[in-house]
Structure 1
Amino acid sequence: MDKAKLQREWLKSNFNLLNNIETDQKQKLPQPPLQKFVEEDAEIIVLPEVNKDVITKMNIFDCLMDRKSNRIYTEESLSLEELSFLLWSTQGVKKVVGKVNFATFRTVPSGGARHPFETYLVINRVEGLRKGVYRYLSLDHKLVFMFDKNNMEEEVKEAVSGQNFIASSAVIFVWSCIPYRSEWRYDISAHKTILQDSGHLCQNLYLACEAISCGTCAIGDYNQDIIDKFLMLDGKDEFVIYAAPVGKVKTE
């Protein structure tokens, strides 16, 4: 129990310590990019423009009341329009601010508008997309295809500690974090805000799913090494922080 109590320090605010720290921002060091680099020859998929047509439940009260974790999905595919809506709801960029792309205002809040996340998608059943792993380009509202594998479902299932229901979903959202995007401004105080921010984006996914007759279930239990390796992340400067499968659910 003593070790557990020691870990509680992560939950506390330590922003007062920044008074004595010359953060990289204060030192006028270059800020990290707002989005990961994309190879020139990468396969890019332009997503449909986001609109209200995909929404089946407009009342926010009903969305909040009906929101729950869903682990049973139908075999129905998501449309590309629905996927576009979910991506926009969780990391959509509404505005880029600053003379040199200093920050982004998005559909979710983030400490200091740092938004330290990248969104990866394991696509099983989405109309117009072949099975495989993609990355969301939030600044452009596009997808970049990464790779596909024959045993993809088994690898992902192993990565999430054998939680079998995840393999039946239409798409699996996997969010990584690039800590330096927040550390550049907040140094040792960045990590509390990163964890808070990951909760913001996953809750938006829950509500957005509810609005389009889909379900999701937040996944915090995963094998860090396996899932980072699966997505070809270095596990140090970028690593997985959260995941959530999404699929169509039976409606009453």
Structure 2
Amino acid sequence: MTDRLLDDPQLRISSCGALLWHADQLVWHDTLTHRRFAIGEDADPVLRCFTTWQPLSHLRKHARDDDHAEALVAIAERLRTANILVTRESERHRVEDANEAAWHRWGRLVALFHTETRNLRDQRFLTAAADQERLRDRLDHEPPPPVSRTRQTTHRVPLAPDPARWTRGGFLEVLSHRRSTRQFRADPVPFEAVSTLLRWAGGITEVDEPTQTAFKTTPSGGGRHPTEIYLHAHRVAGLRAGLYHLNTGTDELELIGPPQSPDELVELLGGQDWAAGSGCVVFYTCVLPRSMWKYSTPRTYRMLHMDVGHLSQTVYLLAAALGLGVTFTAAVQDEKLEDLLGIDSAYELVMGCSVIGMPLGVTSIEYGE
């Protein structure tokens, strides 16, 4: 047997990687270094030998003869060099154990999301001029997805005009009243208040037509604004109960489905009973192609969550200004909501929702002069 077995190191498959099938090849993704390695068929029997800590000499049991053993050892050494196989007590082993300890409660796939969207120390960024040139080239052969969407519907409702007077007007007063509210009065939410909240939270203030770069009251990575807004109205005065899509291009609500019963709504929101007392729920999704058109880096996935966070805070402040109560929650049955919204989860992602109602501490909302 080869001299390489004399020290007989203990080996195991790395816990910080994933095997994915891509372009007719198995590709190993090292999630700590962002490196990729194609795995040939000859590596499969070697990897199967080291699903738990085993000495390198363990390969002898799977070799037909000395030549075959030599070949298996050579494959193992290549995998070891690539950190697909990890040596016990090595620095890589220490780093992997620390990573495993940090993420074990949430699981390896969550850690995979984070590490796959990290920018490493040798990350190169385009200059502003080079980025603009890249987008001009892309416009020539790939038009951007529209920043607003129109859904098929048999019932459209224009948003109501803004109130002439808001419940709270001072900026610091609005900030100081921003709270999460889980107790609501039985009164319906006025449609005027819902309309104002949706218009100022989701409405487009300016758009660059060629690139579909939009400006709204909240920031968005690259001005892509991938977040779509849906309204579940179950206790809104002046609005037919149902599930609506907000068309930000026309300031209209498009009816796309019937309302859920209180029990169904509570189940949809992870069994949170307090949601049944609300007047409406604003659901947020993210349309992947909008952001992907401009950004190819997986780092952009983090931006989707930040975009929804910015938008949620704007909804909170608008609710405070309008005298409404609101709480954001991410406890949503994604798959069920995808069915209700009629969206393809490969392209449009469920992100969370804002539950809105009349808070106990506010007796009325004043409208008019």
TM-score, normalised relative to structure 1: 0.88
1:63 to partner: Cα distance: 1.7
Aligned to 1:120: 230
Aligned to 2:216: 106
Aligned to 1:73: 184
Equivalence map 1:193-204=2 (5 Å): 193-204=303-314
Q: 1:7 to 1:103 in 2, by over 3 A?
A: closer
Question: What amino acid does structure 2 have at the position aligned with 1:229?
Answer: D
Question: What amino acid does structure 1 have at the position aligned with 2:328?
Answer: A
Aligned to 1:9: 115
1:124 to partner: Cα distance: 1.0
Mapped contact 2:148–2:247 kept (Cα < 8 A): yes
- Distance in 2, matches of 1:23 and 1:51, equals 44
- Distance in 1, matches of 2:186 and 2:117, equals 40
Aligned to 1:167: 276
Question: What amino acid does structure 1 have at the position aligned with 2:285?
Answer: S
- Distance in 1, matches of 2:353 and 2:254, equals 19
SS at match of 2:246: strand
Equivalent residues, number = 248
SS at match of 1:32: coil
Out of 146, 153, 156, the residue aligned to residue 44 of structure 1 is 156
Out of 268, 284, 292, the residue aligned to residue 183 of structure 1 is 292
1:18 to partner: Cα distance: 6.1
Equivalence map 1:25-44=2 (5 Å): 26-28=137-139, 29-39=142-152, 42-44=154-156
SS at match of 2:162: coil
Equivalence map 1:171-250=2 (5 Å): 171-188=280-297, 189-250=299-360
Q: 1:13 to 1:77 in 2, by over 3 A?
A: farther
- Distance in 2, matches of 1:221 and 1:176, equals 14
Q: 1:61 to 1:33 in 2, by over 3 A?
A: same
Aligned to 1:89: 200
What do residues 182-205 of structure 1 show as CA deviations (whole Å, max 9, x unaligned)?
A: 011012232121111100100011
User: Could you say which structure has the greater relative contact order, defined with CA pairs below 8 angstroms and 6 or more residues apart?
Assistant: 1
- Distance in 2, matches of 1:242 and 1:25, equals 34
Q: 1:97 to 1:251 in 2, by over 3 A?
A: same
Structure 1 gaps of 5+ residues are: none
Mapped contact 1:219–1:244 kept (Cα < 8 A): yes
- Distance in 2, matches of 1:5 and 1:138, equals 35
Structure 2 gaps of 5+ residues are: 1-100, 363-369
- Distance in 1, matches of 2:346 and 2:340, equals 15
SS at match of 1:218: strand
Mapped contact 1:134–1:143 kept (Cα < 8 A): yes
Q: 1:152 to 1:24 in 2, by over 3 A?
A: farther
Q: 1:174 to 1:109 in 2, by over 3 A?
A: same
- Distance in 2, matches of 1:63 and 1:229, equals 36
Question: What amino acid does structure 1 have at the position aligned with 2:270?
Answer: S
TM-score, normalised relative to structure 2: 0.61
Mapped contact 1:133–1:147 kept (Cα < 8 A): yes
Which is greater in Rg?
Answer: 2
Aligned to 1:251: 361
- Distance in 1, matches of 2:117 and 2:178, equals 26
1:223 to partner: Cα distance: 2.1
